[in-house]
Structure 1
Amino acid sequence: MMFMLFGISSSVYAQSTEQRIVTGIVADESGTTLPGAAVTVKGTKTAALTNAEGKYSILVPSNASVLVFSYVGMTSQEITVGSKDVVNVGLVSSTSTLSDVVVIGYGTLRKSELTSSISSVSQKDLKNLPVAGIDQALQGKVAGVTIANNGGQPGGGVSVRIRGLTKVGDNNEPLYVIDGVPMGAKSTSLEQNFLGGGSGQTGQSVLATLNPADIETIDILKDASAQAIYGARGANGVVLINTKRGKANQGKISYDSYVGMAEIPKKLSVMNLRQNAEYMNSLVGEIRAVPGSGLDSIGEFRDPSLLGTGTDWQDEIYRRGFTQSHQLAFSGGSEKTQFYFSGGYLEQEGTLIKTGFERVTLRANVDHQATKWLKTGITTSLSRSDQQIGLSDGFDAVTSTVLYNSPATPVRDINGNFISQNVIGGSTFGNPNNPVALASLRDVTNQTSKAFGTVYADINIIEGLVLRSEGNFDFSLSNDKAFQPFIQNETTKAIILSPSRLREQRNNSLYWALKNYASYNKTFSKHNIGATLGHEAQRSKYDYINANRNDLVLNLPSLNAGDAGLTQGIGAGAGIWSMESVFARLNYTYDNRYAISGTVRRDGSSTFGDGHKWGTFPAVSASWTVSNESFLKDNKYLNYLKFRAGYGEVGGQDAGGANLYSANITLFGTAPFGAGGLPSNVANPFITWESIVTYNGGVDVTTWNKKLEFSLDVYKKVTTDMLLATQVEAFSGLGTAWNDIQTPRTNDGKMTNTGFDIGLTSYNIQKDDFSWKTNIVFSRYKNVLNSMNKPEATITGMFDEYGTKSLVTLSQQGRPFGAFYGYVTDGLFRSQEELNNGVDYGLSIAPGSLWLGDVRFKDLNGDNVVNDQDVTVIGNPNPDFTYGFTNTFSWKGVDLSVFLYGSQGGNIFNYSRRQTESLSSAYNNQLTTVLNRYSASNPDGDMPRYNQWHNNNSRISDRYIEDASYLRIQNVALGFSLPKSLINKVKVNNARFYLSVQNLYTFTNYSGYDPELGAMNNNVRFMNIDNGHYPVPRTFTLGTNIEF
């Protein structure tokens, strides 16, 4: 190479022409390294790309050489080499998000090279959100992902659906992969039926043990062409979470903290004492009109104007909850060793008394370049969480009984003792279970200790070829306790809680995986090739043991406190599954214009029998970056245009039990004929993998001088060979009410989800002192259960209400899954003619039977009889679409973000109204809506009449179906960063303070606490059902982020 330099000495000339190697690291403005960044010597063809750690090495001709650093979506920089041998550079983001390096599973890829549907979220998108689990923070941030809190219980479960339901089983949650460790996100549950809670249970999110402040990036694999690399475990979608890591020569100490207060956003309008007295007085004549029935005006109630408001049970049961979070992190390192250490503490008091969540976390991420060819590292997370749980979503739940307990009953008597019921004028008021006593005296807890992590070694075989050997582990130990003491009023000896009960359970789980895979990346001329080939073995084992005692002699929460002669129960169980897999992926890109990717994975699972253990899951996708074609290049109106198309298949193995390809035995210790065993299921050795196929087409556009980015994906997801329980005739003795012997599972069902996702980002204003950015996401899908093992087959959701089962949801062929099922109302009976000429309800026509003001139902089959043959679909829990809308402003050191989230369409089954608008007891409280009930003096009332004589009016019907639509101001955050000229004097790099409000206000027509309901206990058969729901709180927080 020739150099022409004039006006310098020959010695300097000789020095300047000496070639040498220059190395360095390319990172973004936050210090995150940038794999795949281009480094070129200006004016020459000499170029290099940074590796996975953002490092590069390039041959430069002379000291006068200029290096040009560029990365898609970043502003290029030019730096003169001079005498430096190491040149590190930090690139500043331009407006384009194409700069993101996306984790795709067993590797990374620049977003500009993607062929599949993958969405990314960074730590900047998750700040200011006071949540225990990162799944809650993703709500409204990602198109195609529908997220709903299952309740306001601190640390509680969240329903996450990626492009709708995938299967009919309980587990439709995505696979979470945290630093390479896969975690199924099925919530752990603490069943409280033992305490008389009906079907109400509480779930805890598995992600509640992960500190959100440790997270660096999140990538969501939404279509099967991206999910296929995870095979069967990726059937419901995959969420890849990478935690923070240290950067070479970039030591920092950071402290993040917030404190706050939470409250329920609203109270429901139930009658106060004066209204309740007026209501009772108005019933006297109506009840006395029925022979054999009577109600007298009670002395204290005869003149309601003399009464106060009575007990406000909602004020007694709900409180303002304190919350706080603190995290201290250290990161940095040398060229050889980088580290990230953190410790965090979170405390959340629930808005329901005696509920809360407390968590301590420790994290250590270390990477070490042992030699030029060997890199090793370890990622470890330790956590301990303590959760206090309040019973909700059940018939004995305090969140239910608080609404219909009488305002005439005080919480305590003058001596401070709890009162269960209050006798006034010879009449008994109040529910036998005092809600405050239930919540205060019961002790329901979950303690979980968890450790998970990764140990790896990367071996550089040759340039571009890396062999990784990786081990993953996940160990969890949890202790569950549900305790109820025996309590009676010391003065009256009235029973408050009885009997004393205790249930304890120990749960252990251990997961491990071994992965060995090779990755090859090579760029030559206009061609870029990436290939991955690997093997993986996984094993998961769990076991539990529980014991319960009744009538504890010492009334203490100890299993030793019971009398050995009294009833006790002991249970235990265990399970194990294993999987072996091989996988391969090949990516090819030509001239940054045409890209194609192919993936195949073959899984062998212990879930299935011989001859059916193995499943093969292929995928292929391609993209065309039209904007890089010569006819569109440098077009000032269209900066970027890419079309994508993909096909992929993944498998499902959720068979609803263990080893159902063979017959299992249930052992019993006592029976009239002695101890023995009973088959628990009918075997089917031929069951095999479910198949989930996704077709996806997408387009990505950047226009208007890179100020507007638009993404659209259209998809169809088809699940076939679904594993379903065979429905047989009752005389077979299988699948009966007790379900002692389960019917065989078969591969017979089919379900389809079709929809589209839209993402829009607008950089409205980008100036030195002021910026304004808008993000919009929009998701719509339609779910249909196409077929089951026979046309008339159904999947039911039954509520067990004190031994009486009620059909609430019914899924059948051609309908959306989890549809609400019941009678269709047709107004009220308002004339004698309507009664006389109406259809047969199985009741006589009389005031004590079917009468004016009772609910009319439609005779759908036209047989002039209203019975269970007239029930039909009355609602759909699935929304028509969901959307998120975020505006972010910054002005000098001030930043403001406003995030709105909405859900349009779909229905809610407000089951609580069957109690709070039952109009069947003079002594239970009701919602104020019943004050406009039908009566002789109010014949135009829109509520049914008072009726204590039959349950016609409370049939499961569309009377309780409501619109689930809402728009919520989800988060508003205002922050202020101190000037660097001030904080640098005390060696502080950044200092920011902020105030945020979560769940500020909800616009909705729903009459309950909160239209965001999720799935009760994460069971997809009970979606959007409100049966005493724990409302999601409004939270005010004040926080700080400080970095040294």
Structure 2
Amino acid sequence: MRQIYISAIMLCLCLNFCPPVHANALILHAGHATAPITITGQVTGPDGQPLPGVSVSETGTKNATSTSAQGYYIIKVDNPNAILRFSFVGMKPQDIAVAGRQTIDIQFESSSVELQEVTVSIGYGSIRKEEVTSSVARVGSDDFVKGLVTSPLDLLRGKIAGLAISHTSGNPANQNVDIMLRGVSTLAASASPLIVIDGITGGSLNAVNPDNIESITVLKDGSAAAIYGTQGTNGVIIITTKTPTAGKATVTYNGYASIDKIRNPLKILTAADVRRYKQDPAFSTINDYGSSTDWLKEITGTPVSQVHDLSVSGGNRNTSYVGDVSLRQQNGVINETSKRSLITTFRVNHAMFDDKLKLNFNISNNVVTDHQVPVETYANALLRSPTLSVYNDDGSYRELNNTGINPVGLVNEAKGSNEYNQLMMNGKIAIRPVKSLELSAMGAYQNDYNIYNYSTTFRSYAATLGGRNGEAYLNGGRGENKNLELQANYSKTFSKHIINAMLGYSYQDYTKEAWGMSANNFPLDIFGAWNIGSANSIKQGLAQLSSNKFSWKLIAFFGRINYNFDDKYLVMASLRREGSSKFGVNNKWGYFPAVSAGWRISNESFMKDVSFINDLKLRAGFGITGTAPTDAYLSLTTYRFDPSIAMYDNGQWVSALVPSSNPNPNLKWERKREINVGLDFTLFNKVFNGSIDVYHRRTNDLLYTYSVPVPPNIYNSIFANVGSISNKGIEFAGSVQLINKDKFSWSVLGNVSYNQNKVISLSGDVYKRDYLNVGETGEPIQTYTHRIESGQALGNFYAWEVSGLKPVGNQWQVVGAGDDSPGEQQKKIVGNGMPKVFSGLTTNLRYGNLDMTVALRGTFGFDILNQYRMQRETLSWIQTYNLPQSAFDKPFGGNDYNTAPPIYSNYYIEKGNFVKLDNVAIGYSFTIKNQPYLKRARIYLSGQNLATITGYKGMDPEVAVSGVTPGVDVLKNYPNVTTYLVGLNLNF
């Protein structure tokens, strides 16, 4: 050992004090080979994220390895002056001299990665985008919507062709995100896509911090989504959160503050308007109560919201971690509405035995408290006369019969609070016994608990409570979702063939518990909902108690194989066999196959001289997916206690237990078949990238409730599979890199989609129906809004068509009704609330350290039922409620004012086409020099929902368009808002 030390000292002295040639001579003179050098490091992409599968080889030898899932590699070389080559598909190889080093980290430059050559998730795995043969779209964090994000889905607004995401409310406590992919394919089941978060099927969006998301992938067609069986009919949204990055610990802070204001408030009469109209003998009956009150101003403000997010990541070659804490406080434009959440996440990855064993663990928890006011608050502010005062002389709220509820009283005295906790965690172990095979097991657990309390004080709208002293509701529940997934992945490359195969097993167990109680007439109102036992209504036997529990289980076996020959001919095939407790005893199991193929035309020899085409791929796919019933026990007989039917037993009356549903042993899933043909292309030296998809999807065995006779049935309706519906469409998505210089770049991304929907049938061999009437207009009209009819498009408004007012009685003149009162037979299709065209356009500019993003979004080919105009645009309310200014317009340019009672007709159905300036963000990144801690800083400004080009007369044409009753601008809704934001990013 001492000889080794002496030799090492002599070598060091010689290398330091002797000329290089003598050092080399000394090494040669040793007469034996030098000891091998072990080199380790990490390879990252342009975004700093680890790159798996990078080839690392010693030039001139067969010595080679590849990077792990976290981008790490280890390689031994004999020559300290060896050259290492790092190569990865879609990137320029990099040759790095070892120069005696034992640690070499490299990062590929952004100019070397091609736009189309990225890795995308395809469900239970991922492949290169150039190998994708189905309709799959991916959006990375760089292309997310910039600004205030209340839901992870907001990040995708206007970004993916065929995916419609709309914000229909500005309520921070209840963010109504309406989502639809390629039309509606169901009548009674959920129309929302399946959410998969870090591999957890059915993951909760509430548990995810939007700032912690790395990418979102959407599986759009049947061949891509069939691997998820009965959960994949409406598409699949795969969310991937940020992975740990090894190296020195880094700290990232992202914070922003924002203000909201109501977008385009409705034009209603002011107190000055009322007094002006009262001078006109035609409107002398309008009431003037002597005050001047702006009810909207009384209940709204300009709230300030804020978000603070702190993330820490680091680790070494074997173990890496990332932790994140996000505090989000959002306040609403209506006073006393807010949402406060604290999201904590932690993720750790560990690799051992030369990456043959990998472990990872994720945990995320979201604690939320939101405050709400009654849903009718905003509607009552529109309804209340501006000449009524807020308070009486004694300080009590001024109430007056037939003038609506005092909205200030609603805000101050009737309050609700919802508290919930969303926990999501999962762990995974992966073993690679041989190079080509990986075995993995993942277990996931989700638990959500919520409790909602609502109470009114003695002071709150006592007249509407019938003199009762307050009321209170208290309800809550707990959901528990357990997942287990086992997988085997095999990959093999030989000659020009690449095979990737996967086999898997999935088990899901969901349980939901719920309870509720309500009471009124309290001796005191200081306890809110937290002393319900003191209510007098309990002593009177008028309180209500309820509780319920349900559960369902799902088991699946699935497999997939991907085959690539010479990077020209691509095939993917999958099969899933799935069983669910929701289905009838005769249909517990089903098969869901899929197949797709791709031809990379640009790699053919006959294309080598076509210089303007960089990449061209034709693909086609077919897949079968399903939709399960929403409720758990629809195939079984269920019972309920009916207090109206009682029997006298042992000295007391006992409520009867009666059936509440018929059994259906044949109940099964809705079955959707979809064909998709697509073309992906990159042109003009990779300046223009795009894709075109054409699809046809048909859903059979639609789930719906049908009336049946009693007897022989024990109940008058049954939930059954009857009918079919189809959606056809075309989608285009593309991007253009107009300028790409060192100091200036300009790119444009856009997409447009067209969908045509048709109800093919509502009848089967046993259950038959010509049409379904759905939706409701609300008071005072009380009728349905839509009709679903065989041979017609889904979303048709079905109402009277009017041409003016009758001269006698000032009633509406219904087309084709003559002088008689119109009946159901005069109703007809007067519009459709389902948009046919969705589009999005985003432009990104960068000049030096300054960057700017402008995003527009458009929706076309649909109509909107303006519920506010329908219910309030008539002078018949002139003595009771406030009116819109449009109530003084004369319908159809006639000579008469509308003094007729409200009516549901085509007069209140308007074109909904719109283009929105959805998002504008401007940022500046500071160059940090001579600062050992702060690496990067960026400040930015953002505006959302800034302007709308539309002919619609309501507040906002962005209304709910999914489901079977699309296109209704609901009167009792929270107004949409415009948001202005300033933010700061810091990297340490």
Q: Normalized against structure 1, the TM-score is what? A: 0.86
Could you tell me how far 1:772 is from its partner in structure 2? 0.8
Which position in structure 2 is the counterpart of 1:400? 379
CA distance in structure 1 between the aligned counterparts of 2:285 and 2:934, rounded to whole angstroms: 75
Tell whether 2:369 aligns with 1:386: yes
Q: Which amino acid aligns with 1:957?
A: S
1:487-538 residue CA offsets vs partner (Å, 9 max, x unmatched): 1799xx9999855211111111000011111111222222211111111111
Distance 1:640 1:417, change over 3 A: same
Which position in structure 2 is the counterpart of 1:326? 308
Which position in structure 1 is the counterpart of 2:507? 537
SS in 2 for 1:279: helix
Could you tell me how far 1:83 is from its partner in structure 2? 2.5
Could you tell me how far 1:70 is from its partner in structure 2? 3.4
Indicate which of 637, 649, 656 corresponds to 1:663.
637
Which position in structure 1 is the counterpart of 2:890? 933
CA distance in structure 1 between the aligned counterparts of 2:285 and 2:428, rounded to whole angstroms: 79
1:387-441 residue CA offsets vs partner (Å, 9 max, x unmatched): 222344xxxx1222222211111222455432123xxxxxx7x724012211222
Tell whether 2:294 aligns with 1:342: no
Indicate which of 860, 870, 877 corresponds to 2:833.
877
Distance 1:946 1:587, change over 3 A: closer
Could you tell me how far 1:657 is from its partner in structure 2? 3.4
Distance 1:278 1:180, change over 3 A: same
Distance 1:795 1:489, change over 3 A: closer
Tell whether 2:968 aligns with 1:985: no
**Root-mean-square deviation (Å):** 2.8
Which position in structure 2 is the counterpart of 1:750? 724
CA distance in structure 2 between the aligned counterparts of 1:784 and 1:996, rounded to whole angstroms: 40
Indicate which of 155, 158, 161 corresponds to 1:140.
158
Could you tell me how far 1:21 is from its partner in structure 2? 6.5
CA distance in structure 1 between the aligned counterparts of 2:738 and 2:777, rounded to whole angstroms: 54
Could you tell me how far 1:16 is from its partner in structure 2? 9.2
CA distance in structure 1 between the aligned counterparts of 2:609 and 2:697, rounded to whole angstroms: 37
Q: Which amino acid aligns with 2:133?
A: T
CA distance in structure 1 between the aligned counterparts of 2:834 and 2:92, rounded to whole angstroms: 43
Could you tell me how far 1:226 is from its partner in structure 2? 1.1
Could you tell me how far 1:477 is from its partner in structure 2? 0.2
Which position in structure 2 is the counterpart of 1:1005? 951
Could you tell me how far 1:1030 is from its partner in structure 2? 1.9
Distance 1:645 1:800, change over 3 A: closer
CA contact (8 A) 2:254 2:985 kept: yes
CA distance in structure 1 between the aligned counterparts of 2:286 and 2:39, rounded to whole angstroms: 96
Q: Which amino acid aligns with 1:369?
A: A
Q: Which amino acid aligns with 2:86?
A: F
Which position in structure 2 is the counterpart of 1:727? 707
Which position in structure 2 is the counterpart of 1:424? none
CA contact (8 A) 1:29 1:93 kept: yes
CA contact (8 A) 2:862 2:967 kept: no
Tell whether 2:861 aligns with 1:905: yes
CA distance in structure 1 between the aligned counterparts of 2:438 and 2:584, rounded to whole angstroms: 36
Indicate which of 480, 487, 490 corresponds to 1:510.
480
Matches within 5 A, 1:290-305: none
Could you tell me how far 1:865 is from its partner in structure 2? 6.3
Could you tell me how far 1:74 is from its partner in structure 2? 3.7
Indicate which of 147, 150, 163 corresponds to 2:182.
163
CA distance in structure 2 between the aligned counterparts of 1:768 and 1:64, rounded to whole angstroms: 34
Distance 1:693 1:250, change over 3 A: farther
CA contact (8 A) 2:834 2:966 kept: no
Which position in structure 2 is the counterpart of 1:626? 601
Could you tell me how far 1:724 is from its partner in structure 2? 1.8
Which position in structure 2 is the counterpart of 1:236? 234
Which position in structure 1 is the counterpart of 2:660? 680
Tell whether 2:245 aligns with 1:247: yes
Distance 1:15 1:704, change over 3 A: farther
Tell whether 2:274 aligns with 1:311: no
Indicate which of 791, 797, 803 corresponds to 1:826.
803
CA distance in structure 2 between the aligned counterparts of 1:897 and 1:547, rounded to whole angstroms: 50
Tell whether 2:88 aligns with 1:71: yes
Structure 1 unpaired stretches of 5+: 1-5, 185-205, 287-294, 302-306, 422-427, 735-739, 830-834, 836-844, 935-939
SS in 2 for 1:436: helix
Tell whether 2:978 aligns with 1:1042: no
Tell whether 2:683 aligns with 1:695: no
CA distance in structure 2 between the aligned counterparts of 1:488 and 1:75, rounded to whole angstroms: 71
CA distance in structure 1 between the aligned counterparts of 2:521 and 2:756, rounded to whole angstroms: 51
Matches within 5 A, 1:528-567: 528-555=498-525, 556-557=527-528, 558=530, 559-563=532-536, 564-566=538-540, 567=542
Matches within 5 A, 1:827-906: 827-829=804-806, 845=808, 850-851=809-810, 854-859=811-816, 866-906=822-862
Indicate which of 108, 114, 128 corresponds to 1:91.
108
Distance 1:129 1:18, change over 3 A: same
SS in 2 for 1:487: coil
Distance 1:61 1:496, change over 3 A: farther
CA contact (8 A) 1:968 1:1002 kept: yes
Distance 1:509 1:920, change over 3 A: same
Could you tell me how far 1:891 is from its partner in structure 2? 1.3
Q: Which amino acid aligns with 2:534?
A: A
CA distance in structure 2 between the aligned counterparts of 1:353 and 1:241, rounded to whole angstroms: 34
SS in 2 for 1:1007: coil
Could you tell me how far 1:1019 is from its partner in structure 2? 5.6
CA distance in structure 1 between the aligned counterparts of 2:907 and 2:461, rounded to whole angstroms: 40
CA distance in structure 2 between the aligned counterparts of 1:1026 and 1:902, rounded to whole angstroms: 21
Matches within 5 A, 1:485-524: 485-487=457-459, 500-524=470-494
Moved more, 378-387 or 519-528: 519-528
Which position in structure 2 is the counterpart of 1:455? 427
CA contact (8 A) 1:884 1:901 kept: yes
Q: Which amino acid aligns with 1:1031?
A: P
Matches within 5 A, 1:9-408: 9=25, 11=27, 22-42=39-59, 48-57=65-74, 62-94=79-111, 96-126=114-144, 128-154=146-172, 155-183=174-202, 207-282=205-280, 310-372=292-354, 373-392=356-375, 397-408=376-387
Could you tell me how far 1:40 is from its partner in structure 2? 4.9
Q: Which amino acid aligns with 2:84?
A: L
Distance 1:85 1:904, change over 3 A: same
Distance 1:72 1:534, change over 3 A: same
1:447-489 residue CA offsets vs partner (Å, 9 max, x unmatched): 1101011111111111021110110111000001222222179
Could you tell me how far 1:62 is from its partner in structure 2? 4.3
CA distance in structure 2 between the aligned counterparts of 1:705 and 1:662, rounded to whole angstroms: 61
CA distance in structure 2 between the aligned counterparts of 1:744 and 1:35, rounded to whole angstroms: 53
SS in 1 for 2:877: coil
Indicate which of 535, 543, 550 corresponds to 1:568.
543
Indicate which of 783, 790, 797 corresponds to 2:757.
783
Q: Which amino acid aligns with 1:789?
A: S
CA contact (8 A) 2:409 2:459 kept: no
SS in 2 for 1:438: helix
CA contact (8 A) 1:485 1:497 kept: no
CA contact (8 A) 1:900 1:970 kept: yes
Could you tell me how far 1:1024 is from its partner in structure 2? 3.3
CA contact (8 A) 1:164 1:781 kept: yes
SS in 2 for 1:744: strand
1:324-361 residue CA offsets vs partner (Å, 9 max, x unmatched): 00011110111111101111100110112221111101
CA distance in structure 2 between the aligned counterparts of 1:1020 and 1:148, rounded to whole angstroms: 16
Which position in structure 2 is the counterpart of 1:920? 876
CA distance in structure 2 between the aligned counterparts of 1:604 and 1:793, rounded to whole angstroms: 32
Moved more, 314-323 or 466-475: 314-323
CA distance in structure 1 between the aligned counterparts of 2:393 and 2:936, rounded to whole angstroms: 56
CA distance in structure 2 between the aligned counterparts of 1:801 and 1:1024, rounded to whole angstroms: 11
SS in 2 for 1:945: coil
Could you tell me how far 1:314 is from its partner in structure 2? 2.0
